[in-house]
Amino acid sequence: MSKTALVTGASSGFGLLTTITLAKQGWRVLATMRDLARRERLENAAQEAGVLDLIEFITLDVTNNDQIGALAARLAARPTPLDALINNAGFAMAGFADDISDHELRQQFDTNFFGATALTRAVLPLMRKQGFGHIVFLSSISGRCGFPFISSYSASKFAIEGWAESLRLELKPLGLQVALVEPGVYDTNIWTTGAFLSKQTQLIQAQAADPKPASKSKAHNAHSSNAARIPGMIAHINTPKPRANPQEVADGIVNILETRRPKLRHVFGKDAKGALWLRRLLPFGLYERLLIKASGMGK
């Protein structure tokens, strides 16, 4: 009998690749996404791989508790077990820490942290009853090391790291496995269509692009102590850089699910492994100076 996995955020990036890779290995995949209108890319990839019949498309906004509850009930009614949950849904909020509002910070946590924890708690009764199952959280190297300009994203990943580690200790005696996936920079949409500049950062960016507007709009009356640094930071982020093939991470996730007792943390990418190595090896003051210089951040 085919095993079943639930993947959130399956319309693109690691979620899409993991869904296809699992299906090619014979898994039945419940591919969830916030908007089913965005299923075309996954559907085409599944068709090309000859695995479309193994994928079920499901609407799920991980910040919607009613949808989470309905899905949990649907899973409980299925005659087959849920072998794995892959918490992949997420987005990145960029901007200096003091240019991000409370509302934006909560939005970041609602998806990256509270959404993942709510869905996990919703399926736990089913997995406890089964006595087996793997739960995987897509974290990031940013959940182990803080980086400038992505404090909100990094904070949400640090939070999921702590929650998952504690959850692992609670569930391991029950036969349930918890693992964290910590990629570095890969060629996905997390920093393109999956990324958002904070509103204040957008306003400062617009002001820098048009410092003497014909009309005094709200957009050009923004103030930030970071105004002089924002254009350079955005230019640094947008500078083309070599990015690793995300299929490596998808293959790694499948390997975790097919390992009876996987370890807690799984780091992917030379940049991620290098950052952790430097942090362990160097005095922290030197590590900080190197990170600030590498970020291209001005004074």
Which string of b and e fits 230-256 if b means at least 16 CB within 10 Å?
beebbebbeeeeeebebeebbbbbbeb
- φ and ψ at residue 271, rounded to 5 degrees: -65, -40
Phi-psi region of 208 (alpha: psi -120 to 50; beta: other; left: phi over 0): alpha
Closest among 175, 250, 194 to 7, alpha carbons compared: 250
Closest among 87, 84, 14 to 269, alpha carbons compared: 14
Query: CA 76 to CA 63: how far, in whole Å?
Result: 20
95 near 198, Cβ under 8 Å?
A: yes
State the catalytic residues.
153
> In whole angstroms, how far apart are CA 235 and each of 195, 231, 232?
15, 6, 5
Query: CA 230 to CA 208: how far, in whole Å?
Result: 9
Which amino acid, residue 126? Answer: L
